[in-house]
Amino acid sequence: MNRRTFTRTLLAICVIVLSLGNFMPSALALGGKQPPIGEPAPEFVLPTNTGDGEIALSDYRGQWVVVYFYPQDFTPGCTLEARRFQQDLPKYIARNVQILGISVDDVDSHREFCDSEGLKFPLLADVDGSVSKAYGSWLGSMSLRHTYLVDPQGILRETFLGVRPAIHSQEILARLDELGVADS
């Protein structure tokens, strides 16, 4: 193969590879199709370790909601992420923002996790993965580490995929600032 043929072949391969990246819908990510930003967030009702035992997303109409999915109670990354949300909880409360954590763990595991970590926000039990699937945050047998910001009207405003537990809460607070969600 001469140099010109090699260059053309290489260029053709690059074009094909780049076009494949554009072929996939932008709303598709590891875990499935993401709910569209600017549309109503998928509604859910799940058992929880707090209150009367069930929480619906619609219970929080009138306030912002951070819906964060995580793989499993008591694992290092999930524990770190939950601790950061708990550490920043007064900042969320000042903005009238509710935090909801969701994983496939059952209510008893969530209760133990909250007790051991001093968590004062609800964790919801998505034991069959149906809500995780609706949010495109499902990977076979567990929820992925994805977060969604839902506005007071129930509209999905932001999606965070592949979050880093150590800084994620601060990222959420910064985005709330950008969206003009101030202390109430």
Helix H or strand E segment including 65: strand 64-69
Q: What angle do CA 73, 76, 82 make, to 5 degrees?
A: 60
**What whole-number distance in Å separates Cα of residue 93 and Cα of residue 143?**
26
Contact, 63 vs 96, CB < 8 A?
Answer: yes
Contact, 165 vs 80, CB < 8 A?
Answer: yes
Catalytic, out of 46, 55, 78, 119: 78
Active site residue 14: no
| Residue whose C-alpha is closest to residue 82's, from 109, 46, 55, 54 | 109
**What whole-number distance in Å separates Cα of residue 132 and Cα of residue 115?**
24
Tell me the catalytic residues.
78
